[in-house]
Amino acid sequence: MSAFHYQRSYRGPLKAAIFDWAGTTIDYGCLAPAGVFIDVFKRRGVPITSEEAREPMGAHKKVHIRKITELPSVAKRWREVHGKPSTEDDVEVMYQDFLPRQLECLTKYCELIPGTLETIATIRKRGLKIGSTTGYTTEVMKILVPEAKRQGYEPDSIICASEVPAGRPEPWMCFANAQKLQIYPMEAYVKVGDTISDIDEGLNAGMWTIGLVKTGNEIGLSQDELKRLPQDEFRRRSDRAYVRMSQAGAHYVVDEIADVIECLDEIDRRLASGERP
């Protein structure tokens, strides 16, 4: 018997890219959901910081609220205000409060992030399909999708957390995209997003992953706010985000969507040499 074991290996190029929405392709700074989470908790008498509101970003919004309540700092404040830990009923009440408030503010945060159209066009020219995943519900996407299309962005596939058994970090939205796009294997995909849960989702689906720092949840500032931010503070936040995403397992970490193309060239080279994500 031979001492060597031979394994089937995909050596072709990337076939598809799956993008997140808020903080990746639209809504510079991922502002729409963060502010509403803060408001919802404030209405229950429990103030939360922007950092606490953003910690679970990328998850299904009900899961996101549940995870905020589980943060030690928030759980402590909740007990001080309500005299007991939060319950699933509390999470449900806040989620039902969150939904209409999210819908009300969405149109303020529908602008495409600079570089999105150019990057998507370049990726399409390479022969890749464009998929997308989001922690938003189908009701929210009924507003966002037409707004994005009006600006020229229309993915080939859109899967919401509410359409699968569970959202991020589970891989089901990525698998649903693959089924809809009818493209395989999963190592021929790259997942691009601005949250740790985006990276987890892509890795759990067996995909290459690219984390975005500057335009999304990790820094969490609008373009105007970013321009006013002192350079040393920007560097501190940026360095922290690069470390967090790298430690989460991202294959590549870059500033924004416009920086993705050079990563695709490197991934194609790695695939051709027999590497897998």
Catalytic site includes residue 227: no
Q: Where are the alpha helices (DSSP H) in the chain?
A: 31-43, 50-54, 61-70, 72-82, 88-105, 116-125, 138-150, 172-181, 196-204, 223-228, 231-247, 260-272
CA distances from 6 to 2, 3, 9, 184 (A): 10, 10, 9, 21
Catalytic site includes residue 20: yes
3-state secondary structure of 69: helix
Strands 208-212 and 189-193: parallel
Phi and psi torsions of 122, nearest 5°:
-65, -40
**Taking the C-alpha atoms of 31, 37, 38 and 41 in order, what is their torsion angle to the nearest 10 degrees?**
180
Rounded-to-integer distance, Cα 52 and Cα 50, Å: 5
- Hey, what are 24's tokens? 């990746």
3-state secondary structure of 42: helix
The catalytic position among 20, 27, 194, 200 is 20
The catalytic position among 61, 62, 191, 214 is 61
- Hey, what are 153's tokens? 């962005």
List Cβ neighbours of 63 (8 Å cut-off, separation of 6 or more).
56, 161, 166, 167
Catalytic annotation, residues: 20, 61
